[in-house]
Amino acid sequence: MKYGYFDDRRKEYVIQTPDTPLPWINYLGSNQFFSLLSNTGGGYSFYRDAKLRRITRYRYNNVPNDIGSRFFYIKDQDEIWSPCYKPVKSKLDYYSCRHGMGYSIISGSRNSIVASITFFVPLKDNCELQHVTLTNEGDSKKSFDLFGVVEWCLWNAVDDAANYQRNLSIGEVEVENSVVYHKSEYRERRNHYGFYSVNADTCGFDTNRDSFLGADKDWSLPDRVRSGQSTDSIASGWYPIASHQISISLEPGETKELVFILGYIENEKNDKWDSPNKINKTKAKEMISKYESLSSVNKAFSELAGYWEDLLSNYQVHSALPQLDRMVNIWNQYQCMATFNMSRSASYYETGTGRGMGFRDSCQDLLGFVHMIPEQARERIIDIASIQFEDGSTYHQYQPLTKQGNADIGGGFNDDPLWLIGCTTAYIRETGDMSILDEMVPFNNVKGTEKPLLEHLKRSVYYTINHKGPHNLPLIGRADWNDCLNLNCFSEEPGESFQTCENIDNKKAESIFIGAMFVKYAGEYADLCSRLGNTEEADYVNKEIQKMTEAIETSGWDGSWFLRAYDSYGDPVGSHICEEGQIYIEPQGFCVMAGIGIQNGNAKKALDSVEERLTTPYGIQLLNPCYTKYHINLGEITSYPPGYKENGGIFCHNNPWVSIAHTVIGQRNEAFESYKRISPAFTEEISDIHRTEPYVYSQMIAGREAPNYGEAKNSWLTGTASWSFVNVSQFILGIRADYDGLRIEPCLPDELNEITIIREFRDARFNIHINNRKTGKIQIMVDGEKIKGTLIPLIENKKLYTVEVDV
């Protein structure tokens, strides 16, 4: 069952009912001001940091759910309704929500009044614009009141929900004309304030939540809306809001437009005040006046559209499968940008108050956005590398504001260092910019410790070489990619973090997964060394890779699939001899991606085992059989009920690895099946089962053993986005940036006979047409000339490559 449809021309998903199974959201903002916005108007805004600079208030896990922080009401005589359906929830004659690229348009109508609100964050200003269009589609004149309301957060989202002793006494506002200024704590150390304005005269306002809501204290029917009479309340402590009441008259057929601005302003410390206790509003007034006219609002909207057009234009496919095209051309890339902007901080499942940027998350996310924003990717690589320690190990997370490693969680996740190589080579392949390897980068952000980035990569490689266990496989540390497989944890304390608790480290617990990572990424490092002429280093590392490959083949093979690990007792994890958790997905995908087992047939055997034991119609489960008991030697993975999360859920992030693995051994159709199973556009029809948004990936889909089999959770902020894009764009469609040119190695399924791809790469445009003749061989013509191999070499100043491919 679907709840809407894709409008590909407008790059929108159109939701046709407010009753989606869960709130279906969009992200607004591309720079410093961000908003989360659900299809019924829920969500919140923040400036740069979702914890420390929360602008509006939102309550997670609330009942009634997803109410806040912006509210629109129409009071039309005795009828009260919301154009976004919520919070009033009066039945609408018409409803739609169009989630587009950095904007959403929510429309509702009732009794011949049509209200449509376009929400977006302009590229150049720290504000959310709410462009309201009101039309009288009836035969008689309509007079009604519109209320636009926001609820302020007292800046720090954690304190805001905890420190009531203080909070209930600090709220302060100013009101001037049609603007409410939120200035809590501005009197003391803050030099920023928020404002909510409307470009019209108001007939009343409220800034005190209880005055606005009245006795029932319910957003669904505030007293002030019911009575149609604002109280012009001035908040003093408690819960400051901003409500504007505007009287509207519309002749039949008439349309009026209003612009509300939710803005954020910073002043210089010595320029905070206009007069005693009156804040300096100069910058706010500039912003308000800038968007006073509709033409400037429309211009800002066009600029935003142009921005996204540019970003997405670097990779465009045209095929006979609209689902494929819309994922590749629009939504998958769009989601990759969301992971760039948010990392894992703020979604409807991540409160924005918890963790910083993950080391491995950021490295992997980058694979999905590097082709769109290479300069910002470069910056991020330097930030990430700066939290590496001198021994090659790394902090597991860092704070985006301070860029310091997060000491609370610390390090000890032994896969982390190797990911740095993967993102660095991806950046260089995309841009050709080898100079990044010479960039001086500190260790642990300590001044004076700077070494070239290449040295950081080397330390990553040597960290693994120097930390091996009894089977010559890499020690796992606190965990590898699978944060929940905690082999040195042995936690007995309820609520204790499995990630930070480390009770033993007897140098026994080993990870085959890290072994495979080593083969892949140390290989990329060795390749870099060769390119830089350091063949001695390349040879040495290649020998180490050979040793690791042998170790995996000797001690990491279970007979029909790759083992997952050895625990601290030296017992295998993910083996047929285990009672539960006999096979894990990660090493199957990653070993084959790294080229292990290709020649001896183990690769195929492993993927056959995945098909047989892990694959479901909704995707590939992480392991099988699920753990039904807590295994203290395995950690958090066994703490989840069977079928959820890492305990046998379909943890989507690793599904593309299997799909890529299929391409590696030429299983074209299997690769594409695997891709489609978790691809949102391809699974749109089962939106009622997945329940999350059908335009973005979710982190997890409940596995076969879960009562809610097939139900997805944690949409948006997941590494699934980048790996899926890597999979489809580089391996299935097969267009890969490479050091010396563009590599074309499609691995198309039977159902795709022909595709064209436009790829902007290093200042040139590649128009690629591929005929899928299912030959298994690749023949490439560039501008009418056949080339050898699959790499299109770059020719200086050449701006256009016309490429014809037969496969």
| Footprint on residues 68-127 left by a second copy (CB under 8 A) | 68, 89
In the list 3, 24, 181, 239, the residue contacting a second copy (rule: CB under 8 A) is: 239
Is residue 483 annotated as a catalytic residue, yes or no?
yes
Closest distance to a second copy from the beta carbon of 500 (Å): 14
Q: Which of 125, 325, 483, 558 is catalytic?
A: 483
Nearer to a second copy (CB atom), residue 96 or residue 491:
491
Which residue stretch of 196-204, 489-497, 555-563, 726-734 sits at the interface with a second copy (rule: CB under 8 A)?
489-497
Closest distance to a second copy from the beta carbon of 472 (Å): 33
Answer yes or no whether residue 364 interacts with a second copy by CB under 8 A: no
Specify whether the CB–CB gap between 78 and 71 falls below 8 A: no
Answer yes or no whether residue 189 interacts with a second copy by CB under 8 A: yes
Answer yes or no whether residue 236 interacts with a second copy by CB under 8 A: yes
Answer yes or no whether residue 714 interacts with a second copy by CB under 8 A: yes
Show contacts of 769-775: CB within 8 Å, 24+ apart: 769/803, 769/804, 769/805, 770/733, 770/744, 770/746, 770/805, 770/806, 770/807, 771/804, 771/805, 771/806, 771/807, 772/746, 772/748, 772/807, 773/806, 773/807, 774/668, 774/750, 774/807, 775/806, 775/807
Nearer to a second copy (CB atom), residue 46 or residue 427:
46
Closest distance to a second copy from the beta carbon of 275 (Å): 12
Answer yes or no whether residue 182 interacts with a second copy by CB under 8 A: no
Q: Which residue has the tokens 């410790």?
A: 449
Which residue stretch of 157-165, 294-302, 436-444, 607-615 sits at the interface with a second copy (rule: CB under 8 A)?
157-165
Close Cβ partners of 543 (under 8 Å, ≥ 6 residues apart): none
Answer yes or no whether residue 569 interacts with a second copy by CB under 8 A: no
Helix extents (H) in 79-204:
157-160, 164-170
535 vs 245, 261, 432, CA distance in Å? 73, 60, 20
Which residue stretch of 370-378, 490-498, 529-537, 763-771 sits at the interface with a second copy (rule: CB under 8 A)?
490-498
Answer yes or no whether residue 645 interacts with a second copy by CB under 8 A: yes
Closest distance to a second copy from the beta carbon of 335 (Å): 17
Answer yes or no whether residue 494 interacts with a second copy by CB under 8 A: yes
Answer yes or no whether residue 213 interacts with a second copy by CB under 8 A: yes
Answer yes or no whether residue 713 interacts with a second copy by CB under 8 A: yes
Site for a second copy in 769-798 (CB under 8 A): none
Which residue stretch of 158-166, 327-335, 669-677, 725-733 sits at the interface with a second copy (rule: CB under 8 A)?
158-166
Residue in 402, 365, 401 with CA at minimum distance from that of residue 381: 365
Closest distance to a second copy from the beta carbon of 572 (Å): 22
CA–CA gap between residue 736 and residue 791 (Å, rounded):
9
Answer yes or no whether residue 351 interacts with a second copy by CB under 8 A: yes
String marking each residue 32-61 x if it binds a second copy according to CB under 8 A: --------------------x------xxx
Handedness of CA 399, 400, 402, 403 (dihedral sign): positive
Q: Over the Cα atoms of the chain, what is R_g? A: 28
Q: Are strands 113-120 and 127-136 parallel, antiparallel or unpaired?
A: antiparallel
Close Cβ partners of 275 (under 8 Å, ≥ 6 residues apart): none
Nearer to a second copy (CB atom), residue 95 or residue 557:
95
Answer yes or no whether residue 350 interacts with a second copy by CB under 8 A: yes
3-state secondary structure of 779: strand
Site for a second copy in 402-461 (CB under 8 A): none
Nearer to a second copy (CB atom), residue 215 or residue 407:
215
Answer yes or no whether residue 349 interacts with a second copy by CB under 8 A: yes
In the list 315, 644, 672, 766, the residue contacting a second copy (rule: CB under 8 A) is: 644
Specify whether the CB–CB gap between 144 and 253 falls below 8 A: no
Q: What is the DSSP letter of 393?
A: -
In the list 159, 383, 433, 760, the residue contacting a second copy (rule: CB under 8 A) is: 159
Length of the chain, in residues = 807
Answer yes or no whether residue 401 interacts with a second copy by CB under 8 A: no
Closest distance to a second copy from the beta carbon of 732 (Å): 29
Nearer to a second copy (CB atom), residue 219 or residue 369:
219
3-state secondary structure of 596: coil
In the list 91, 124, 141, 217, the residue contacting a second copy (rule: CB under 8 A) is: 217
Answer yes or no whether residue 65 interacts with a second copy by CB under 8 A: yes
Nearer to a second copy (CB atom), residue 399 or residue 639:
639
Closest distance to a second copy from the beta carbon of 781 (Å): 49
Closest distance to a second copy from the beta carbon of 418 (Å): 24
Q: What is the DSSP letter of 707?
A: T
Answer yes or no whether residue 215 interacts with a second copy by CB under 8 A: yes
Judge residue 739's burial from the number of C-beta atoms within 10 Å of its C-beta, 0-12 exposed, 13-18 middle, 19 or more buried.
middle
Closest distance to a second copy from the beta carbon of 216 (Å): 7
Specify whether the CB–CB gap between 316 and 725 falls below 8 A: no
In the list 534, 708, 771, 779, the residue contacting a second copy (rule: CB under 8 A) is: 708
593 vs 191, 515, 603, 664, 699, CA distance in Å? 51, 12, 9, 7, 21
Closest distance to a second copy from the beta carbon of 659 (Å): 24
* Dihedral angle computed from the Cα positions of residues 282, 283, 284 and 289, in that order, rounded to the nearest 10 degrees: 90
Backbone angles phi, psi at 601, to 5 degrees: 85, -5
CA–CA gap between residue 93 and residue 417 (Å, rounded):
56
Answer yes or no whether residue 165 interacts with a second copy by CB under 8 A: yes
Closest distance to a second copy from the beta carbon of 337 (Å): 21
Q: Which residue has the tokens 């891709």?
A: 675
Specify whether the CB–CB gap between 683 and 762 falls below 8 A: no
37: left (phi over 0), alpha (psi -120 to 50) or beta: beta
In the list 190, 285, 547, 605, the residue contacting a second copy (rule: CB under 8 A) is: 190
How many residues touch a second copy under the rule CB under 8 A: the total is: 75
In the list 139, 268, 270, 276, the residue contacting a second copy (rule: CB under 8 A) is: 276
Answer yes or no whether residue 339 interacts with a second copy by CB under 8 A: no
Answer yes or no whether residue 501 interacts with a second copy by CB under 8 A: no
CA–CA gap between residue 781 and residue 769 (Å, rounded):
10
Active site residues: 483
